[in-house]
Each structure stands twice: as C-alpha cells, then as structure tokens.
Structure 1
Amino acid sequence: MIQAKLTLPFELADEVSDALMELGALAVMLEDANADSEDEQPLFGEPGMEPESAAWGLNHVVALFRNRHEGEQILAELDPEALNGVPVEFTEVPQEDWVRLTQSQFDSIPISAKLWIVPSWHTPESADGRINLVLDPGLAFGTGSHPTTALCLRWLSEFPLQGQDVLDYGCGSGILGIAALKLGASEAVGVDIDPQAVESTAYNASNNGVNMPCGLPDFPLAKRQFPVVVANILSNPLKVLAPSLCEHVEAGGQLVLSGVLARQAEEVIAHYRTWIPLSVWAERDGWVCLHGQKAVL
C-alpha cells in the first residue's frame, strides 16, 4: 500500500478529501498540520464560545491507495488549478493488521505512582493502590498524553479529593472528572460546548464504572459552586471565562487551569488576579498548570 500526503488550507481540505474518496481512495483523513506546535488549533469551540472554524487552518490530507500507480492516477484527476502545484509526499505502508498497528502505538500512560491511563485493549496491571483509568485514544478528545491533560491529572492525583465535588469545565472526553471520581471525589460534573463531548464523557464514565453528569454550559447541575474547579482549555477562552469560572469556585475552593503556554502564564495570572490569585503549579514541555485558592471572606 501507499500513503499520499498533501498540505492544504481548510478551504480546500474538505473538498479534496471528498473528491479522493469519490475517485477510489481506500481511506482519507485530515490532520492538523500545526499539531504539537504553538499554532495548534482546537477543532471545536471552547465552553462559552462559538467554534472558531469547521476545520484546522492548515491540514494534512492523508490518503491511502493500493499502490503508487493507483494513487498517481487518482491524484491526477483532481483539479490542478485548485491544488496549485501542492507537492505530494508518497510513503510506502506495510501490509499489516491496521487495528493492531494503530492500537500498538498507544501504550498505558503513567500519570503518577497511583494513576495510570490504560487503553481498553490493554489488560490493566494490578498493583496496590494503583488506579487505572480506561480511555481509548480519539481524534477530538484528550487521552492523557498531552502535557496539559497530564498536568491536570497530576494535580488531581496529589490533592486530597475525598469527599470533594469537582467541576470539569471544557471536559472533552471527561478524563479529568472521571479521574477525580476514581481518586475519591464524591461527585464530578462536566460542562462542554460540544454535544459530542457530552456523549463522549457519558460513554467514558460508563466504561469506567462511574457516574459523571455532563451537559452544555446551561447544564442545571453545573449552576452552583464547587470545592474544586478544573478547566483545561486554552489561554484566550480561559481569559474570557475568568468571571464565570471564578464564580463557580466556592469560598476556600481550588481553581486549576491548564492549556496555557509558559510564555502566556503571567498574562493569564494577571487576568484572574481580580478574583483568585494564581501561580504556576507545574510546567511540562512548555505548558503550565496554574493553581489558586479562592479567599474566604
């Protein structure tokens, strides 16, 4: 098999990928061309904000063909003016079991001594005090491998959560709220602007044997204050949401924020200073986790 990759702006990416499928490509997928960089862009909007776009600004269009001859024939049928001389990168792909190959790329992720993220096709290892969070890798939602998610999970695993209620704002896969429940929280509630995230959270919570109510930003169960509020989003939405997030934190409660680059930390801290004083709790791979405690008046 052969894989062909083109890099295209979002105006062309969907059109070209649809055309490739209609012309006979075995499979086509879109990837963020700026993934794992400062220009990485969330595909979905953040809580309280409208989606920025329906696709990434710059996309890798990756198509699979039986052989290079077939790939070149199909690509030749695309509109040459639309592609405007975009280079095509061909890569040989071994004939293998695709499911097993994909699954083999994702191993268990140790977050702390007691918390691990385990894909469902792995057999969780038994160890005294070890908590296994079962979560499969996906395209749209966090799985614990990104530094910001791992930082929030580390904070949750180190904070005494027994008897605490937790709000996971911008929950995505629900990973933070589910982890909080498995770590001893009495309740976790999720909020996200994307209905697919709400469905994903419900599925993952059920798959981990916990109950985590989740809904859109007007979700009734989230309209109160919590001892712990966690939001792993991005710096700009975090600044927009500052009054709302701080209002959700009860007096003496904890606020944990991530999705913030190290160079953005002071700006976000300054934005929250009116409500809750924050500081950098930990840093990893250029990303930070911010933490603060709301004053008791």
Structure 2
Amino acid sequence: MAWIQVRTNTTAQVAEKLGDMLMEQGALSITFMDAQDTPVFEPLPGETRLWGDTDVMALFTADTDTTQAQALIRSVLGEAAPLKVEALEDKDWERAWMDNFHPMQFGKRLWICPSWRDVPDPSAVNVMLDPGLAFGTGTHPTTALCLEWLDGQDLEGKTVVDFGCGSGILAIAALKLGAARVIGVDIDPQAILASRDNAERNGVADRLELYLPKDQPQGLEADLVVANILAGPLRELRDIILGYLKPGGAIALSGILDMQAEALAQYYGELCQVDPVVSREEWCRISGIKG
C-alpha cells in the first residue's frame, strides 16, 4: 500500500497542536522527530536556519488530497513554512523512521528499545517497542518525563492506570518495572491495537487491560496514574483522572507546555499535594499525591 507523507518543521511548543490539527484533517498518524538529528530542511550555503527543533510528519493514504493539510500548515506557520510532500511505499515509510529510532535510557533502570535492534544492556529493564500507528516512542520530552518518573517509583505489586496509553510505552514500562496490573485507556482504537501488540512483544499482555473509554469497567482504582495527553484535556478531565486514583496514590501528568504548567499545577493542587514542576524543552511534568 502507498502513502503520502507531508512533512514540515516547527518548534516543540507548536508541534503537538499542529499534529492534532492535522489528525483532524485526516492524517492516519503523526510522528515528531528531533530536527537536529535528522535535518531534512537544511539551509542553503550562507543562510541561517530560521525554523524550529521538531519535524512534524503526517501520514495520509495515497488517495488523499493533501491540499487542505498543506494550507493548514501555512495558516499556522506562515506562507514561508518548509513543506515536503512525498509518496511512500510501506517499506519506505517504515525504513524512514526505523533508521532514526535508537535504544534510549530513562532514569537508572529503564531502556526503550526498537524491536528490530539489539538491546544495549541485557541486564536492564528493557521495553521492546514497535509504535505502529500510535504516538509514543520515548523521543518526545513528554514521554521521556513520564518514563523517568515511572523509573523512580516503587511499582512492585501496584496497580497503574495509563490514561491516553498511545503505543503502550508507559503501561508496558510500568509492568516491566514491577507493577502487578496496568489499565490502559485511549480514545483511539489504533492505540489499543498498538498497545496490545507491544504488550505481547514484551510478554506482559496477561497483566495489561486495554479499554476505549466507553468500554472501561466501573470502579477502577489504582495506586498510580500517569496521563501524557494535553493540558486542555487534563484540565477538563481532572475529576475523571483523579477518580482512578486511591487516596494517597501518586499521579504524573504531561503534555503540558511551560506557560500552562503553573495554572494546571494549582488546579490539581486543590485535590493533590503537588511536587515542583519538572521541565524539559518547553514541556513539563506535574506530579503529586492525591489527598
């Protein structure tokens, strides 16, 4: 099967918002990549690179007219926004991101490893990952912040809810780090499929329960909750997210920009004892304990 990939470049601050807008335009998946590692939009000799640190790649089926998607990018980033539109066969698309996805360490114990590469440290806690069409490889600062938080928790025998589970990376990491049971919830059926496939690849599928919101059982209760989504939904769904958590349970939230963190921390602070905000590349993690 053939695909069309529309690629542009922006800052990390804008990338997630733009990705959400392109999904609304019909993109099947959005991939974020560090532009410093894979410079597709190189300046000409003597020019200064004026664009950002994140490449945004939107994948569409081959029969999609991407004119509207391109117009959307220009409306958000300006008429001079860099754009690259190309047709990809399955093998080309897979190779394009497989070549740039390397094993990464988070915290002291945890490694995220592409399923097609050798693990650097067989004695570490290794999560073998194939993201499929779902977001979450660990390369984005929000995912990295959550993985590092999980690595620092005592998860032995605990129940964890991963709200917005995506590729399952956080859920599987929690299980590999000792959690007895993890519940993954996501609004995207592709995320449920990707999480299930990755759980089977890591031998933890028997301890991972996956639900669309409409299908989840009532009365779920967890020792820890992690939610790596966006600040808007985190605010709107605060009571639902905290409703999963036992009193005294720990929570970590990400997908939050620097400018949004203080207000959101105060909002969750009404019901939780909130830790100092942790920032990385304009993105933040809020964590705390439910009162």
TM-score between both structures, scaled by the size of structure 1: 0.70
What SS is found at the alignment partner of 1:159?
Answer: coil
User: Do residues 225 (structure 1) and 216 (structure 2) align?
Assistant: no
Classify the secondary structure of the residue corresponding to 2:12.
coil
What code does the residue aligned with 1:28 have?
A: I
Q: Which residue of the partner structure matches residue 173 of structure 1? A: 167
SS of residue matched to 1:185: coil
CA-to-aligned-CA distance 1:129-175 (integer Å, 9 cap, x gap): x0111112555411111001011000101111001100000111111
After superposition, give the CA deviation of every residue in 1:175-204 in whole Å (9 maximum; x if it has no partner): 111100000001001001111111111111
Alpha carbons of 1:164 and 1:270: their partners in 2 closer, same or farther (altered >3 Å)?
Answer: same
Q: In the alignment, what sits opposite 1:37?
A: 13
Preserved CA contact (<8 Å) 2:186 2:213: yes
Q: Relative to structure 1, is the Cα distance of residues 33 and 222 closer, same or farther in structure 2, using a 3 angstrom cutoff?
A: farther
Post-superposition shift, 1:263?
1.6
**Structure 1 residues 226 and 30: CA distance shift in structure 2, 3 A:** same
Please give the per-residue CA displacement for 1:210-242, whole angstroms capped at 9, x wherever unaligned.
021101113334642211010000100100001
Could you tell me how far apart the structure 1 residues matched to 2:229 and 2:166 are? 9
Listed as ranges, the gaps of 5+ residues in structure 2 are: 28-55, 61-65, 72-78, 86-90
Match of 2:278 among 275, 278, 282: 282
2:237 to 237, 241, 245: 241
TM-score, length basis structure 2: 0.72
Find the aligned partners of 1:166 and 1:61 in 2 and give their Cα distance: 31
| One-letter code aligned to 2:120 | E
Percent identity, aligned pairs only, is 37
Q: How far apart are residue 107 of structure 1 and its match?
A: 1.1
Considering only aligned residues, what root-mean-square deviation do their CA atoms show, in Å?
Answer: 3.5
Pairwise CA distance, 1:126: 3.7
Equivalent residue letter for 1:122: R
Q: For each residue in 1:260-295, what CA deviation from the matched residue of structure 2 results, as whole angstroms up to 9, or x when unmatched?
A: 112211111122233223233522111111111012
Q: Which amino acid aligns with 1:293?
A: I
**Could you say which residue in structure 2 is the equivalent of 1:6?**
none
Structure 1 unaligned segments of length 5 or more: list them.
1-20, 46-50, 64-77, 92-96
Give 2:142's aligned residue. Answer: 148
| Residues 8 and 84 in structure 2, CA contact (< 8 A), matched pair in contact too | no
- The count of aligned residue pairs is 241
Label 1:207 to 1:42 Cα distance change in 2 as closer, same or farther (>3 A): farther
Q: Which position in structure 2 is the counterpart of 1:207? A: 201
Runs ≥4 residues deviating over 4 A: 32-35, 42-45, 59-63, 86-91, 97-102
Distance (Å, rounded) in 1 between the aligned partners of 2:169 and 2:7 = 22
8 Å CA contact 2:160, 2:179 repeated in 1: yes
- Kept in 2: contact 1:272–1:278 (CA 8 A): yes
Pair 1:62–1:201, CA change in 2 (3 A) = closer
Please say if residues 163 and 186 of structure 1, whose CA atoms lie closer than 8 Å, have aligned partners that are also in contact: yes
Contact 1:170–1:231 under 8 Å retained in 2: yes
Following the alignment from structure 2 to structure 1, what is the Cα–Cα distance between the partners of residues 145 and 164? Answer: 15
| Change in 2 beyond 3 A, CA 1:28/1:270 | same
Q: Report SS of the residue matched to 2:279.
A: strand
Larger Rg: 1
In structure 2, what is the Cα distance between the partners aligned to 1:164 and 1:60? 37
